[in-house]
Structure 1
């Protein structure tokens, strides 16, 4: 709940020397998003815009083009500015003098979509990929009475967001982590934010997603086949063939038609990807999932390295749209290492290159026979569950996780729960 008690604790970070520049670059681009938004929203001669959704609709695409930030960090920059503009509007209403907010202090706002908060380190999103920063902490026995020991290491408190700051004099980065208590009482009334299992460990469900160059565009661990990669490629080929014919004509009229075709196809493909992203989010919500898990984006680009730049753009844009759209939901997006997800049997775990033959998957050990993309989607989700099982914290802050299947849930220990018993 929004009124849950919060504590913010500063944690000194040990940032690798070769990655420090990435954090400074993140700050520069984050503040650019905030200042561009502030300039757009602050209007003396008309009215100030205080709607986050209006600001995002107007500026998000431009700022994505102007920066190398992830979708989440762009949105955080926009929202930070709108919050400041809203505060300024309230001051004006109260008769106080104020001016357009300007952002120049060193800070970047992170949440669970752009950072992970682990026991002894954090990973932070930057324009050049995620970096791992170790926490600089006193010995275990000396920090029990420190804020870190009382709150961060206390299972009752969950890290929900953080602000990264830099001390120029010390040449040191600090992460100011905000934690909130998911179980608390107010005036004797108990409130709960998270579901728990019998052991009291927070539990979550993830939906694995396998993206493909051929066949279904996206396949989920629940067996949902979303869109057709072949259809998308076919539409692109039609557009290219028509452009090629017009280029041979060579007239000004033909040149203008080529430009029109390109614009129309760009609009169509973006709309198609928007709809597929909506389909995926709807499937995740239907499965009562908490998170959507992809293979990491570098692997997606490698998968289509021999394909067209359009294919590379389409898959990256799809993931970006999903990340953007989940901001208005309770879902999150995260990624796993893709190694052997297409060769591993999701039923018994046996891994061999002969298991997969194009879209067919048959385990050479146990005989499990299934669509290869569906098998990969389950492996993607199961790998994330295994990651949590080994003691890492999920993007949702869980201690335990399970993956959504066609007709139930499966945890990392292989224990299956049918759908009829989940209610």
Structure 2
């Protein structure tokens, strides 16, 4: 049994080095979008580039000249575009509507060479040398970082650096892998299984153990809009307003279900792309205690997301 887990860690970035990370992310997204443009072909999915070596050989030298990124970050940006293209091609084959992947969210992928770990800090490659960032860990123990990163049972694979604009904070999602030979050999029914772990959160609705994440910004925005609209209608206090509230409730429910269905489909596609035959969600027991900032619509989304993925 191969299990992958992601440990989200808050970083303490020196004030004088924050701009270096922002500029690195800007150039990383530039490389990823240039690679996506190279890989995509609107005419037929058979013309799309889905081999990382093909995209790397065509773009690597050019992107190194265009940016100040290190070699590893350029390669990770190309790999991100190729993986996204492969996912779109799979959906295209199934007759689903797709378009060229576009990367706009602030994030960067780091491998073993571009991120060097110490016990309570990490050294990250940037456009201006390396920056050392301390970890800000919660008081409760054991933390996911302690369980998956410091443990000898798990091996570091890759990480995703994210920036939360709302809080002006940086987060490092560290992906690890564990090979459990005893369990895979002892179960004739399951055979060799590769697990895609899914962690849930408020800022990021879901984070896969591959490093892919689904941000909750759009979901939160529309939940607030529906709530605002409900408040405006309730103030009228008429029968017409009551009927309008019922219609609004149905529209909101339909929108929520469609949104979560879309995320569920993308999680399943992520598992297919990485040859994972088992998807494991974070235990929802005591989720309110572990995520005190989560509102009712977050809890609803977590439970429905797990149900929809299981159904698919």
User: RMSD of the TM alignment (CA)?
Assistant: 1.8
SS in 1 for 2:72: helix
TM-score (norm 2): 0.57
Structure with more helix by fraction? 2
**Structure 2: distance between partners of 1:50 and 1:164:** 24
- Compared CA separation, residues 185 and 90, structure 1 to 2 (3 A): same
SS state of the match for residue 101, structure 1?
coil
TM-superposed deviation, 1:18 = 0.3
Do the aligned residues in 2 keep the contact of 1:117 with 1:159 (CA within 8 Å)? no
Per the TM alignment, residue 182 of structure 1 is displaced from its structure 2 partner at its CA by 4.4
What secondary structure does 2:162 align onto? strand
Other-structure match for 2:107: 107
- Taking CA–CA contacts closer than 8 Å with sequence separation of 6 or more, which of the two structures ends up with the larger relative contact order? 2
TM-aligned CA deviation for residue 128 of structure 1: 0.5
Partner SS, residue 134 of structure 2 = strand
Give 1:189 deviation, angstroms.
5.1
Q: Is the 8 A contact 1:156 1:181 kept in 2?
A: yes
Q: 1:189 to 1:117 in 2, by over 3 A?
A: farther
2:119 & 2:148 partners in 1: Cα distance? 12
Aligned counterparts, 1:2-81, within 5 A: 4-45=2-43, 47-81=47-81
Structure 2 match to 1:152: 149
Change (3 A) 1:97 1:184: same
The within-5 A match list for 1:184-199 is 184-188=181-185
- Unpaired segments ≥5 residues, structure 2: 193-312
Describe the superposition over 1:40-75 as per-residue Cα deviations: whole angstroms up to 9, x where unpaired.
Answer: 111123611111111111111110000011111101
**C-alpha spacing 1:102/1:188, structure 2 compared with 1 (3 Å):** same
Deviations 1:258-309 (A, max 9, x none): xxxxxxxxxxxxxxxxxxxxxxxxxxxxxxxxxxxxxxxxxxxxxxxxxxxx
Residues 110 and 164 in structure 1, CA contact (< 8 A), matched pair in contact too:
yes
Q: What is the number of residues matched between the two proteins?
A: 186
In 2, the alpha carbon distance for the partners of 1:58 and 1:184 equals 39
- Is it true that 1:84 corresponds to 2:71 in the alignment? no
> CA separation of 1:179/1:129 partners in 2, compared to 1, >3 Å: closer, same or farther?
same
Say which SS state the counterpart of residue 112 (structure 1) adopts: coil
Which residue of structure 1 aligns with residue 173 of structure 2? 176
Instruction: Measure how far apart 1:89 and its partner are.
Output: 0.8
Residue by residue, what CA displacement relative to the aligned partner does 1:69-102 show, whole Å, maximum 9, x if unpaired? 1111101000100111111111111000010000
Alignment gaps of 5+ in structure 1: 192-423
- Find 2:159's aligned residue among 159, 162, 166: 162
Matched residues in 1 for 2:137 and 2:130: separation?
22
What does residue range 339-350 of structure 1 map to in structure 2 within 5 Å?
Answer: none
- Displacement of 1:151: 2.1
The offset of 1:187, in angstroms, is: 3.2
TM-score, structure 1 length as denominator?
A: 0.42
Mapping of residues 12-411 of structure 1, within 5 Å: 12-45=10-43, 47-139=47-139, 142-144=140-142, 146-188=143-185
* Alignment partners' CA distance in 2, 1:180 and 1:167: 26
